[in-house]
Amino acid sequence: MAAAARVGAAGAPLGADALGQTLSSLGDISRKIAIGVTNDTSQDWTALNTYFFSGTSDDILPCDIPTNTTLIYSAHKTTGPVATGAVGVFAYHMNGGFTLAVMFSVPFDYTYYENWWNVKVYKGKKPADKTMYNDLYYESNPFKGDDSWHEKTLGYGLHVRGCMASSGKATLEICVRNSSK
């Protein structure tokens, strides 16, 4: 059973409850992720697309993410006895003329790989694709999904803080805010 992608008010409890419920609703899948991204910026966001390196989602990205709201999105490995994880990137156009990209990686094989996540802002309107995924995974200093909080400046007056679980049934909680907040 699929979790419904949704939007909720920022400041409403997100954390373990909402993301845990989303993760549980995906059923008994060995590699899955529930992602919550809070828009604590002064810009509204409009969904562009998702690119999957491996895995899939039964959800469509929530279309409009007004300021002070949180989007919840989930992904999982491809159904069946296949050796894939839930790995990809999704993109939102920001009304300030930028693109917010969120990369997530819950690999199938923990012998060679670990959970990773990243957020980056690009100039202009840029759909998620393999090039964006490669940039976020290999080139733009991603964060390890190690159950710890990480943060960085995104440029363009924005800052991100987030935490990703280290398990194959992971949650990723992110807050994007104006740097002045």
108-154 confidence digits (pLDDT tens): 998 999 999 999 999 999 999 999 999 999 999 999 999 999 999 99
pLDDT at residue 13, rounded to an integer: 46
Burial class of residue 112 (count of CB atoms within 10 Å of its CB; 0-12, 13-18, 19+): exposed
Q: How confident is the model at residue 6 (pLDDT cuts 50, 70, 90)?
A: low
Ramachandran region of residue 124, left (φ > 0), alpha (ψ -120 to 50) or beta?
A: left
Residue with tokens 């935490």: 163
Q: How confident is the model at residue 8 (pLDDT cuts 50, 70, 90)?
A: low
- Among 65-69, 75-79, 100-104, the range with the most confident prediction by mean pLDDT is 100-104
Query: Regarding predicted confidence, which is higher, 89 or 20?
Result: 89
pTM for the structure as a whole = 0.91
Beta carbons of 88 and 53 less than 8 angstroms apart: yes
pLDDT at residue 2, rounded to an integer: 46
Task: Output Rg (C-alpha) for the chain, integer angstroms.
Answer: 15
16-70 confidence digits (pLDDT tens): 588 888 888 888 888 999 999 999 999 999 999 999 999 999 999 999 999 999 9
Q: Which CATH superfamily is domain 6-178 in?
A: Cytolysin/lectin (2.60.270.20)
Other Cβ atoms within 10 Å of 181 Cβ, number: 10
Residue with tokens 């810009």: 43
Distance CA 25, CA 33 (A): 11
Distance CA 127, CA 54 (A): 17
E strands along the chain, which residues?
Answer: 6-9, 32-40, 45-54, 64-65, 69-76, 86-94, 98-106, 116-123, 143-144, 149-155, 158-164, 169-178
Q: Judge whether residue 1 has pLDDT over 70.
A: no
